[in-house]
Amino acid sequence: MKIVYPVCFYEEEEGGYSIDIPDLLGCCTQANNLEEAMEMAQDAALGWIITAIEDKEDIPKPSKIEDIKLENEKGFVSYILLDLDKSNKISNSKKSVKKTLTIPEWLNEKAEKMSINFSQVLQEALLNKILKTKKKL
């Protein structure tokens, strides 16, 4: 899933940039230069969205860039692209869910003798299956 949000960038008198993502309440950050500002804007927005997803909150719909009002004349508005499917933050999320499943008894015994981590194997298999399915689409 990809989302494009408008972002306000403000050049600071002492150097660097302040960054505000108006659609994501309270989502703001700072950077030393424009390149870093673009990265920091994406990082802040992804963090905000991941928290909202984990808290089962709605993700706000992006505004149109022409509807964004700047706080001062030293600012400009640009878009950032958030690729939620490729975000390391989402794939590295520590929040887990418990799943109950059934496997043959003989398979369970062999795996336990080998000290196989069932959760890790299932995660790897699911991720592999998801990636293979996406390539076909």
pLDDT tens figures, 22-40: 999 999 999 999 999 999 9
pLDDT in tens, 88-124: 555 555 667 778 889 999 999 999 999 988 888 887 7
pLDDT at position 135 over 90: no
At 134 the pLDDT is 47
At 95 the pLDDT is 64
Specify whether the CB–CB gap between 82 and 7 falls below 8 A.
no
CA distance 114 to 102: 19
Helix ranges restricted to H, 1-137: 34-54, 88-91, 105-113, 118-136
* pTM value surpassing 0.85: no
In the predicted model, what is the mean pLDDT of the chain? 85
